[in-house]
Amino acid sequence: MISRLVFGALAASRGMQTFASKYGLRRRYGFGRQFVAGDTVDDAIAVAQRVESAGFSQTLQYLGTPVGSMADADAATRACVAIINRIAASGIGRNLSVRLTDLGLTVDRATCVDNLRRVLDPATAQEFFVRVEMEDSRYTQLTLDIFQTLWQQGYRNAGLDLQAYLSRSLDDTRRMNALGARVRLVKGAYAEPRRVAYRSKAKIDRAFIAIMELLLSEGTGPAFGTHDRALIDATRTFAASRAIAPDAYEFHMLYGVREELQAMVRQAGSLVRVAIPFGPGWFPYVMQRLGNHPTDVRFLFRTLISAR
Ligand SMILES: Cc1cc2nc3c(=O)[nH]c(=O)nc-3n(C[C@H](O)[C@H](O)[C@H](O)COP(=O)(O)OP(=O)(O)OC[C@H]3O[C@@H](n4cnc5c(N)ncnc54)[C@H](O)[C@@H]3O)c2cc1C
């Protein structure tokens, strides 16, 4: 919790931003490169090609910059459409993850719905799958409502993330299962108040398992975004006990995290998709990840030392 607050403050610091823009994405010793492919779609495509040639599938995870106006939201939406066209031309797998705040969720709900539609239209035409990521709990209900609105308008090439740490997520899973929507289950990455979220690992793991069982029993093409070996084993064991084929669900893991586990899970016969974050909003994203995993701060120190 404390480390999340510290790295949250660093994310907002001008000094850190100047340092990050100068050194953070350097090819050698750039601390950002450990967590993100880079700031352009071409950086991400180059990483995706390597990931695919190693036998994994991938999803590109777009990180936009803060959106404070309709004009910003419009620019971010146009950027996403350009990314879709660039990915389609590159020949890599067509799978993109987006955050609704990047498409104007904090500016105006109706605009955000329109912008998501502007992304889903070319994505549908080019046979993409688009994953809507789940942000902090201020946006959970809105994200579900917007997703459901577009689902009811016939957009079926989209799915969304649900977070095991939110106490509401079991009910949200039932709602998404009833729609037939593809859910990816993750533990949850934000500092949330106790009234909405479990805090202890034991409670979050229990919730993850309950939702995982619901998704495998009643869901459509679920995915599990985790690097937690015990939860991966529990998922595989439950699926096997119900004779659910290994290709009926996927494990998703982040680029650069526990690569030995990624290889092991794939060798054990499961589908593994690597999520590759990229985009102009890489710096606050990296700070959030350092807040969740402070041991990774060594990459930041390595950059600091090499910058001197
Ligand atoms: C594909 C994908 C998509 C995600 N999308 C969302 C989302 O939409 N909304 C959201 O709130 N969260 C999202 N997350 C983040 C998620 O909620 C967790 O915060 C994150 O995955 C860490 O939890 P874990 O299940 O891997 O378990 P943990 O118990 O945190 O980690 C298990 C092991 O993996 C290692 N590990 C995990 N993450 C890292 C890391 N970043 N760096 C170094 N080591 C690490 C640790 O060493 C630990 O031993 C996503 C995660 C993934 C993998």
Task: Tell me the per-residue pLDDT of 82-138, one tens digit each, with 9 for 90 and over.
Answer: 999 999 999 999 999 999 999 999 999 999 999 999 999 999 999 999 999 999 999
Residue 307 has pLDDT above 60, yes or no: no
Taking CA atoms only, the protein residue closest to ligand 1 atom 24 is 226
Residue percentage of the chain with pLDDT more than 90: 79
Distance 226 CA to ligand 1 centre (A): 5
Q: How many residues does the chain have?
A: 308
At 224 the pLDDT is 98
Tell the residue nearest (CA) to atom 9 of ligand 1: 134
Distance 62 CA to ligand 1 centre (A): 17
Q: Which residues of 96-116 are buried (b: 16+ CB within 10 A; e: fewer)?
A: bbbbbbbbbbbbeeebbbebb
CA 288 from chain centre, in angstroms, equals 13
Q: Spell out a b/e string for 228-252, using b for 16 or more CB atoms within 10 Å of the CB, else e.
A: beebbebbbeebeeeebeeeebbbb
How confident is the model over 152-178, as pLDDT tens digits?
Answer: 999 999 999 999 999 999 999 999 999
Per the CB < 8 A criterion, the answer to whether 263 and 49 are in contact is no
Two tokens, residue 169: 């997520």
Q: Which atom of ligand 1 lies at the shortest distance from residue 201's CA? A: 29
- Chain-centre distance for alpha carbon 98: 8
Nearest CA to ligand 1 atom 44: 257
User: 71 alpha carbon to ligand 1 midpoint, in Å?
Assistant: 32
* Contact residues for 40 (Cβ-Cβ < 8 A; gap 6+): 278
pLDDT for position 289 = 78
Residue nearest atom 46 of ligand 1, based on CA coordinates: 227
Structural domains in the chain plus CATH codes:
1-36+283-308 (no CATH), 37-278 (3.20.20.220)
Distance, CA of 155 to CA of 141 (rounded, Å): 19
In which element (H, E) is residue 66 found? Answer: none
What are phi and psi for residue 187, nearest 5 degrees? Answer: -70, -40
Handedness of CA 12, 79, 48, 211 (dihedral sign): positive
Residue type, 118: R
Residue 261 Cα: closest atom of ligand 1: 34
What pLDDT is attached to residue 284?
86
Residue 26 contacts residue 33 (beta carbons within 8 Å): yes
Instruction: Tell which atom from ligand 1 comes closest to the C-alpha of 99.
Output: 8
Using the mean position of ligand 1's atoms as its centre, give its distance from the Cα of residue 227 in Å: 6
The answer to whether residue 303 scores a pLDDT higher than 60 is: no
Ligand 1 pocket residues where CB is under 6 Å: 133-134, 161, 163, 186-190, 225-228, 252-254, 257-258, 275, 289, 292-293, 296
Q: Whose CA is nearest to atom 17 of ligand 1?
A: 188
Report the nearest-CA residue for atom 35 of ligand 1.
Answer: 227
CA of 289 to the centre of ligand 1 (A): 8
How many angstroms separate the CA atoms of 192 and 173, rounded? 19
Could you give the CA distance from residue 273 to residue 255 in angstroms, rounded to a whole number? Answer: 9
Run of H or E residues at 233: helix 229-241
Identify any residues that bridge with 60 across adjacent strands, giving them in sequence order: 96, 276
Nearest CA, atom 19, ligand 1: 189
Render 152-184 in DSSP notation, one character per residue: HTT--SEEEEEETTBTTHHHHHHHHHHHT-EEE
Q: What is the largest CA-CA distance in the chain?
A: 57
Percent of the chain with pLDDT over 70: 85
pLDDT tens-place string over residues 11-65: 667 666 665 665 666 666 667 788 899 999 999 999 999 999 999 999 999 999 9
Which residue shows structure tokens 């998709």? 273
Six-digit token string for 225 = 């975004």
Work out the average pLDDT over 262-287. Answer: 95
Confidence of residue 287 (pLDDT cuts 50, 70, 90): confident
